[in-house]
Amino acid sequence: MSRLAMLGGEPAVPAGTPAPEWPVVTNAERAAVAEVLRSGRFTGVAAGEQEIPALEREWAGRVGTAHCLAVANGTVALSLALCAAGVAAGDEVIVPALSFVGSALAVAHLGAVPVFADIDPVTFNLAPHALAAARSARTAAVLPVHLHGLPAEMDEICAFARRHGLAVVEDAAQSHGVAYRGRVTGSIGTLGAFSLNASKNLPTCGEGGLVTTDDDELAAQVGRMRQFGEDIPARGERPYLSRSIGWNAKLGAIQAAFTRRQLARLDEASRARDRAVRPFLDRVAALPGFTVPVCPEDREHGWHILRFRVRAEAFGLPGEYAPALRPAATRVLRGEGVPVSRYQSVPLPEQPVFRDGGVAHRATDVSVCRAVVDDSFVIQRAQLNPGTGALLRRFADAFEKLWANRDVLVAMARSSRTDAPVPSLAHTDPLGH
Amino acid sequence: MSTTLDVVCPGCDGKVSVRSTVMVTEIVECGECRGELEVVATAPVVLALAPEVEEDWGE
């Protein structure tokens, strides 16, 4: 049995191994950005600017919607989509309890009320059975999040929404070009909202977002709201007339140019990532101590984030030790060179902005979400580079090494609990040095 | 009453003396290699090298 790196052994990922590049920046991106700089056409209202409308056409074509509107970031994409869908101050929007806080802040920015619903313990997405308890007479929309790149249960969610006359705004910030039962995320609900943040599967060189819809009028509203409430004619003079309260939420031309070159490689990169990630997960799944991300056969997975749950019982500990095993596993894996982290430390209703900040919200029973947050950790970004297969094999080595040394984790977990047994002075070296 | 324990240094395999009442997350120093070590378990006491990998994050 090899010695854990944190106890002096050789790390599974050799020291000095460079972190995989993401986004991958090629000469195509450099040339496209340089061309925008040369042109002097930096925003969508610059005469002759073509990168932004070209990105919108190409993304609408990839997603399969009639329209795409490029905006400043993913959070404002959600706000604009919700606003266009008719969500107004005082309305309620059902949001899964596990997501990046932007999913909920996008609702709050409209003066609307996020209502947090529980998640599925396996997919980590909004649990359809939680919708009924979250709905009220004030509910205006459901905001399913395709968390970590796995499409949510859209058929069930959309059926619920239809029954109750609710809009569905997909938070597809982590699921670019991912299929669900023959359709692509962002084309299934009333509107879809994407992030182009540099960490995303479809990134830009900074911040950006995209809104998709089939509805002509909703598209026109989003276009107006990103531009001070103005309708900008395709040609001719700008009238400088605002028809509604709008934001300034446009995407820049440099960001659009960068993303278009990323989009040209999106599908190839997604296939390569899928080929690299699945064998890695298979190896970790063979270890009884962890559950790994799943991908049902009726959909794809973008593998934007890989979330692992710790199974305390497999370590010979009661289930209540899982929250103590998680940081122990994190500590061990990071020692081995695996960049594991948490990605959300509390359910959304426990974020200080909601819990202590007086921002209107409502929560239903989110006990599954709390358990997942407590007993899981993630790998993010490292697996995005399509050439990361060799590194993921090292990561699998690290998980297997951890499992072989699970007695150390058990000692760590026991020691971190206040009701832990009194330390045994007879055993001071768990590895028998 | 606090006594001392000899624990193996993960950095140099030397002996590190720690208090029997040592707490998880405490940092102790190896007298031989001068490495800083973190107490990660107390039952039994386990000393670990500081992690070198920084975490990634996303939104």
Backbone angles phi, psi at A242, to 5 degrees: -100, 125
Asked if B49 is an interface residue toward chain A (Cβ–Cβ < 8 A), one would say yes
Which residue in the set A343, A415, A433 is minimally distant from B41, CB to CB? A415
Average pLDDT over residues A251-266: 98
Helix (H) or strand (E) holding A213: strand A209-213
| Better pLDDT: A105 or B52 | A105
Q: Residue A10: its pLDDT value, please?
A: 95
- Which of chain B's residues have a Cβ under 8 Å away from the Cβ of A427? 44
Instruction: Give the pLDDT confidence of A144-198 residue by residue, as tens digits.
Output: 999 999 999 999 999 999 999 999 999 999 999 999 999 999 999 999 999 999 9
Amino acid at the residue A102 = G
Q: Tell me: pLDDT of A309 over 90.
A: yes
| E runs forming strands in A28-110 | 67-71, 92-96
Instruction: Determine, for residues A304 and B58 on separate chains, whether the beta-carbon distance falls below 8 Å.
Output: yes
Dihedral of the alpha carbons of A327, A332, A337, A343, in degrees to the nearest 10: -10
Q: Which of A294, A331, A298 is nearest to A121 (CA)?
A: A294
Asked if B43 is an interface residue toward chain A (Cβ–Cβ < 8 A), one would say yes
How far is CA A5 from its chain centroid? Answer: 30
Amino acid at the residue B51 = P
Instruction: Give the pLDDT confidence of A267-276 residue by residue, as tens digits.
Output: 999 999 999 9
| A213 strand-pairing partners | A67
C-alpha A93/C-alpha B30 separation (Å) is 55
Q: ∠ at Cα A64 (A58, A65), nearest 5°?
A: 90
Q: Residue A47: its pLDDT value, please?
A: 87
| E runs forming strands in A245-375 | 290-291, 305-310, 340-341, 362-363
Asked if B33 is an interface residue toward chain A (Cβ–Cβ < 8 A), one would say no
| Residue A428's pLDDT band (cuts 50, 70, 90) | very low
Average pLDDT over residues A277-281: 98
| E runs forming strands in chain B | 4-8, 15-19, 27-29, 36-42, 45-49
Residue A155, SS3?
helix
- Which of chain B's residues have a Cβ under 8 Å away from the Cβ of A420? 42-43
Average pLDDT over residues A93-110: 98
Asked if B2 is an interface residue toward chain A (Cβ–Cβ < 8 A), one would say no
Which residue in the set A8, A197, A428 is minimally distant from B45, CB to CB? A428
C-alpha A357/C-alpha A336 separation (Å) is 39
- Which of chain A's residues have a Cβ under 8 Å away from the Cβ of B46? 7, 408, 411-412, 430
Backbone angles phi, psi at A224, to 5 degrees: -70, -45
Q: Which of A253, A238, A256 is nearest to A39 (CA)?
A: A253
C-alpha A139/C-alpha A131 separation (Å) is 11
Residue pair A22/A203 in contact (Cβ under 8 Å)? The answer is yes
Percent of chain A with pLDDT over 70: 96
Instruction: Give the pLDDT confidence of A340-372 residue by residue, as tens digits.
Output: 999 999 999 999 999 998 899 999 999 999 999
Q: Residue B56: its pLDDT value, please?
A: 62
| Residue A203's pLDDT band (cuts 50, 70, 90) | very high
B42 to chain A, closest Cα gap in Å: 5
C-alpha A309/C-alpha B19 separation (Å) is 34
Q: Residue A1: its pLDDT value, please?
A: 73
**Minimal-distance CA residue of chain A relative to B18:** A428
Q: Which of A371, A318, A340, A380 is nearest to A122 (CA)?
A: A371
Q: Residue A3: its pLDDT value, please?
A: 95
Residue pair A281/A292 in contact (Cβ under 8 Å)? The answer is yes
Asked if B56 is an interface residue toward chain A (Cβ–Cβ < 8 A), one would say yes
CB neighbours of residue A431 within 10 Å: 16
Q: Residue A421: its pLDDT value, please?
A: 42
Amino acid at the residue A192 = G
Q: Residue A430: its pLDDT value, please?
A: 38
Arithmetic mean of pLDDT over chain A: 94
